[in-house]
Structure 1
Amino acid sequence: MMTNFGEFTLEGYRDALASGNPTPGGGTAAAVALSQGAALAVMVCNLTIGKDRWMDGWTHSEYCLRIATPLMSLGHELAAADSEAFDSVMAAFRLPKESDEEKEHRKDAILSSTRLASEVPLKTAKEALVLLECLPKLAEVGNANAVTDVAVASLLVSAACKGALFNVQINADGLPDEEGRSLLQEVDEIREQAKILSREVMATVHDRINS
């Protein structure tokens, strides 16, 4: 049964991260950051929609709201899936390896669990990138009183994306050569897009604060 990190108190989640157990770890933290960043984006959208002063931002805020709202819960689901995937990898490495049959079974289990351990954070990174794509415009046309909240949302979502990509990268090393290389190329592409979008958000936020 997967852990529901959405039901943790902040203190409970903090203590779980700080424990001597390998899970929850960085991949889970990245997915939780996605959930938090999405929640901040939702807040900014709600502070914009229906406010006459920010009417120019209603349409984009409604668009962002449709993207960010499901990510609040999906982030927690990915957090649990990431921890479970890592635990599966560790369990595979602990399988017996005395006979040829056991060795083959262990090898297959390691490969399948490693593949899953790369797929989960890759989904976290991709979902984060989709949300990041909304934020430059939200920083521009959303409620100006909440523009710094867009900045914090961007920082959280960027951390979620880049943090998850590190987990993809380390697991790609355990995959067959061509599969691993293809995955690493995708990692580089997502990382570059996230960097560009993050800078766009920050530039817009600074411009709006200083205008």
Structure 2
Amino acid sequence: MNYIDVLDLILDTDDVTVGGGSASALAGATACGLIGMVCKLSTKKDYGVAPEAQLAYAVELEELREQLLAGVVTDANAYGVIRDAYKLPKETDEEKAARAQAIANAGIVGATAPMENATLCHRVYHIGLALVNQSNPNCHSDLIIGCELAKIGANGCVMNIEANLSLVKDQEKINAFNAAITELKIS
């Protein structure tokens, strides 16, 4: 599966296997494209961020975009891990214990994927903020739309960390996820 396959599933209202986490990562990848375009259109003169720095941001945004596109798929696959854990047998005490542990482990997978994507979206958002009133003014709306998409991406991923947190039983992991939620949420 690639990000285009996941996009098709996101757009399919009958599909219940892909949701907001993948859509949020895709929003972040879209933000990379818009903000990167602004960077490249801001290299003819110094608008406050030097042309060389604009190009460096554009390169970083291309790398972030590729990571987020991979993250779209990772998030979709994480849901499959959770779904599969819930399908495990639960007839005997041993099966119940194994299933409970598999669900807890799946919760870690399910919260880790959006945490990684939120971290990437958070970086995209802050690159965009660094360019506000420091880039080609003819691209201002593209830049602001990119920032808003990155913010939606980060906050959507944070919501998916929160959605999977109840499955996690390891207190150390819960603390780490809660710290990430606090750090990555954009108001």
Q: TM-score, normalised by structure 2?
A: 0.90
1:90 matched residue in structure 2: 83
**Alignment RMSD, CA only?**
2.0
Determine if contact 2:22/2:73 at 8 Å carries over to the other structure.
Answer: yes
**Contact 1:85 1:116 (C-alpha < 8 Å) held by counterparts:** yes
Q: Deviation string for 1:126-152 (max 9, x for gaps)? A: 111111111122122211111111100
User: CA 1:15 to 1:86, structure 2 compared with 1: closer, same or farther past 3 Å?
Assistant: closer
Contact 1:93 1:110 in 2 (8 A): yes
**2:23 maps to what in 1?**
29
In structure 1, what is the equivalent of residue 12 of structure 2? 18
Overall identity of the aligned pairs, in %: 23
Question: Which residue among 69, 76, 80 is the counterpart of 2:73?
Answer: 80
Q: Does 1:47 align with 2:41?
A: yes
The answer for the alignment partner of 1:4 in structure 2 is 2
Unaligned runs of 5+ in 1: 196-211
1:65 to 58, 67, 73: 58
Q: Structure 2: any 5+ residue segments left out of the alignment?
A: none
Q: Which amino acid aligns with 2:24?
A: A
Task: Name the aligned partner's letter for residue 4 of structure 1.
Answer: N
Aligned residue runs from structure 1 range 1-211, under 5 A:
3-5=1-3, 7=4, 13=7, 16-49=10-43, 51-52=44-45, 54=47, 56-176=49-169, 178=171, 179-191=173-185, 194-195=186-187
Q: Distance in 2 between matches of 1:48 and 1:81?
A: 33
Query: Is the CA contact 2:18–2:79 (under 8 Å) kept in the aligned structure 1?
Result: no
Distance 1:182 1:53, change over 3 A: closer
Greater relative contact order (CA < 8 Å, ≥ 6 in sequence): 2
User: d(CA) in 1 for partners of 2:87 and 2:46?
Assistant: 61
Contact 1:17 1:24 in 2 (8 A): no
- 1:51-107 per-residue CA deviation (whole Å, 9 max, x = no partner) reads 136485313312321321112222221111111101110111111011222222212
- SS of equivalent residue, structure 1 residue 163: helix
Aligned partner of 1:204 in structure 2 is none
Task: Count matched residues.
Answer: 186
More helix by share: 1
Check conservation: 1:57, 1:142, Cα contact below 8 A: no
Q: Is the 1:174–1:180 contact (alpha carbons within 8 Å) kept by the matching residues of 2?
A: no
Which contiguous aligned blocks of 4+ residues in structure 1 show a shift greater than 6 angstroms?
Answer: none
* SS of equivalent to 1:52: coil
TM-score (norm 1): 0.80
